[in-house]
Amino acid sequence: MLLKSNQFYDLLSSDFDLMISWEKRLKVEAPFFEKIFRENKVKKILDLACGTGKHSIFFAKCGYEVTGVDNSRKMIEIAKKSTRGLYTVKFIKANFLVVYPRVKEKFDAIICLGNSLPHLLSKNALRKTLQNIGKLLNPEGIVIFQNRNYDKILSQNLRFMSPNITFRKNERIIFFRVLDFCKNKIIFNLVTYREKGGVWSFQTKSTFLRPIMVKEIEGILRILNFTDLKFFGDYKSNPYRKKTSEDLILFARKG
């Protein structure tokens, strides 16, 4: 079933946090962000494509004022339920394309993590989103994107990702991600296998992605007058290498 991204994440929402070892992930990512936020005197953060709000809530607990935005109604519902009275975080349902002017405040930092930008299916949509990010940033404000390394994925035809295996109550769940390459798009297939009492079932959800190459996003950011661009290949701040890095983590500053 090929779904729009908001339908895909609405359907995935109740399983989403099972696919990720959040404690492990945040332990790896937090020092990277904390250093950058400290160096740039960040107080207010926009978590764009916040999903179930794990980063937003984590940073709010660290003392930042955080707004999380996502286009999936169900992901936002889960995020809102998870705040448990924490008053330094709020969540808003909005699409990348209308986040400005739907969100009226300005931020010191915007983060857009977890390979969210490739859900934009045209160069125009990417340009418009990066423009919106510029409008939502304070002067000298910063943005950090984390996407998969599509320079490597496409050149090496990397179709499969390692499966995640998890347990919920008396159910075993395996998430298996497969990419189908078609022209300038990718079909992202998520196959979920479930085993309960020895009986297996599976379901497939698919949505389009548009791979973002470093050259493209760098070009647009420069046209939009972003400065101070830095390209990392991981959260240890190792440099981005097209052939080997897992991820493209991109830092830019509003010019």
Ligand X SMILES: C[S@@+](CC[C@H](N)C(=O)[O-])C[C@H]1O[C@@H](n2cnc3c(N)ncnc32)[C@H](O)[C@@H]1O
Q: Which spans of this chain sit near ligand X (rule: CB under 6 A)?
A: 5, 9, 49-51, 70-72, 75, 95-96, 113-116, 119
Of the pair 25, 195, the CB lying nearest ligand X is at: 25
Token pair, residue 231, equals 């390209």
Q: How far is the CB of 221 from ligand X (least distance, A)?
A: 18
Question: For residue 23, what are the β-bridge partners?
Answer: none
Smallest separation (angstroms) from ligand X to the CB of 67: 13
Distance, CA of 20 to CA of 162 (rounded, Å): 12
Residue 25 or 230: which CB sits closer to ligand X?
25
CB of 196 to ligand X, least distance (A): 26
Q: Residue 86 CB, nearest distance to ligand X (Å)?
A: 18
Q: Identify which of residues 208 and 240 has a Cβ nearer to ligand X in the complex.
A: 208
Compute the least distance from the CB of residue 201 to ligand X, in Å: 24
Q: What is the 3-state secondary structure (H, E, C) of the chain?
A: CEECHHHHHHHHHHHHHHHCCHHHHHHHHHHHHHHHHHHCCCCEEEEECCCCCHHHHHHHHCCCEEEEEECCHHHHHHHHHHCCCCCCEEEEECCCCCHHHHCCCCEEEEEECCCCHHHCCCHHHHHHHHHHHHHHEEEEEEEEEEEECHHHHHHCCCCECCCEEEEECCEEEEEEEEEEEECCEEEEEEEEEEEECCEEEEEEEEEEECCCCHHHHHHHHHHCCCEEEEEECCCCCCECCCCCCCEEEEEEECC
* Pick 50 or 57: Cβ nearer ligand X: 50
In angstroms, what is the minimal distance from the CB of 96 to ligand X? 4
Q: Are 191 and 184 contacting, i.e. CB atoms less than 8 angstroms apart?
A: no
Q: Taking the complex as a whole, how short is the minimal distance between the CB of residue 125 and ligand X, in angstroms?
A: 8
Tell me whether residue 121 or residue 195 sits nearer to ligand X (CB atom): 121
Q: How far apart are CA 85 and CA 163, in angstroms?
A: 35
Closer CB to ligand X, 70 or 247, in the complex: 70
What is the distance between the alpha carbons of residues 219 and 233, in angstroms, rounded to a whole number?
Answer: 18
Q: Which is nearer to ligand X, 19 or 213 (CB)?
A: 19
